[in-house]
Amino acid sequence: MAGKRLSVVVTRRLPEVVETRLTELFDVSLRDSDTPMSRDALVQAMAGADVIVPCITDRIDAGMLGQAGGRLKLIANYGAGVDHIDVSTARQRGILVSNTPGVMTEDTADMTMGLVLAVTRRIPEGLGLMQSGDWDGWAPTAMMGTRIGGKRLGILGMGRIGQAVARRAGVFGMQVHYHNRRRLRPEIERELEATYWESLDQMVARMDILSINCPHTPSTFHLMNARRLKLMKPEAVIVNTSRGEVVDENALTRMLRAGEIGGAGLDVFERGHEINPRLRELANVVLLPHMGSATEEGRVEMGEKVIINIKTFDDGHRPPDLVVPAMM
């Protein structure tokens, strides 16, 4: 493609520095509005570009890829998760898919610990009390939560983010336990002082706090289903900064309302931004608008990875963050 600049379509607004650099390197179509593109608009964009830069709000399925024509050669996803893209069909049609792994590790781990503290120490409730002007002063039994030091933290998914959560939890004096598709190497377990559980059921039943840090795949959909949620201690807390589909949200809501689970901190939801309204009514639930990776530094680094993937492809080489179906 030497001598001709790649045609690149960006589906959402990105940090200004990222958009500027993309414009310098490629023939880029940017969005004026920061709203998700319609299905028809996405199909039209894919049919008229060499590269498309989507994000998690853009579902790209087999039917859409079938209408893309023959021009599209790379889907350079802005984000690590690619469950919104039919990677297998894309590869069958000769379309490469790349992502931005590793960028949001520390930011998401920070948010996980933030949610753990927010739920266990009732921070949003205290904030609401102060903002409403209803605080009458300190009292020995008012706004009591629970300490996290000494508590058992179970981490479901011990990849980059899970390990980053484990390091933070250790500093807080928590006991770290984990379940993962593959057991970590002994030296990593020693470093993290983490205990491996081959049985997820057995781990879940014994944890004080459960952190969801695994991706959404067919095998992890509703991994925390109603049966497993019922195994948790009635005072236990569940935190999810990974993918909403991993947890049966309706079952979780029912159990929280019934007092069968102590609390929840959720940054992701099973149906995207359509949140079960009954969750909003619960004082022991902290809800965030999918902001685990929302730092200026992280979002710029994600953009830099997108640019590197596109530029490497433009130079005739394999994008460094190429996604293959076997990874799904």
Instruction: List per-residue pLDDT tens for the chain, 328 residues long.
Output: 456 899 999 999 999 999 999 999 999 999 998 999 999 999 999 999 999 999 999 999 999 999 988 999 999 999 998 989 999 999 999 999 999 999 999 999 999 999 999 999 999 999 999 999 999 999 999 999 999 999 999 999 999 999 999 999 999 999 999 999 999 999 999 999 999 999 999 999 999 999 999 988 889 999 999 999 999 999 999 999 999 999 999 999 999 999 999 999 999 999 988 999 999 999 999 999 999 999 999 999 999 999 999 999 999 999 999 998 644 3
Domains of the chain: 7-103+295-327 (3.40.50.720), 105-287 (3.40.50.720)
What pLDDT was estimated at residue 103?
A: 94
Partners of 53 in the β-ladder = 10
- What is the per-residue pLDDT for 217? 87
Count CB neighbours of 196 within 10 A: 15
Q: Is the dihedral of CA 297, 298, 302, 305 positive or negative?
A: positive
- Taking the CA atoms of the chain, what radius of gyration do you get in angstroms? 22
What does the alpha-carbon distance between residue 244 and residue 293 come to, in Å, rounded to a whole number?
15
Q: How many beta carbons lie within 10 A of that of residue 6, not counting itself?
A: 18
pLDDT for the residue 1: 44
Cβ–Cβ under 8 Å, residues 50 and 7: yes
Coil, helix or strand at residue 323: strand
Question: Which residues are paired to 285 by β-bridges?
Answer: 264
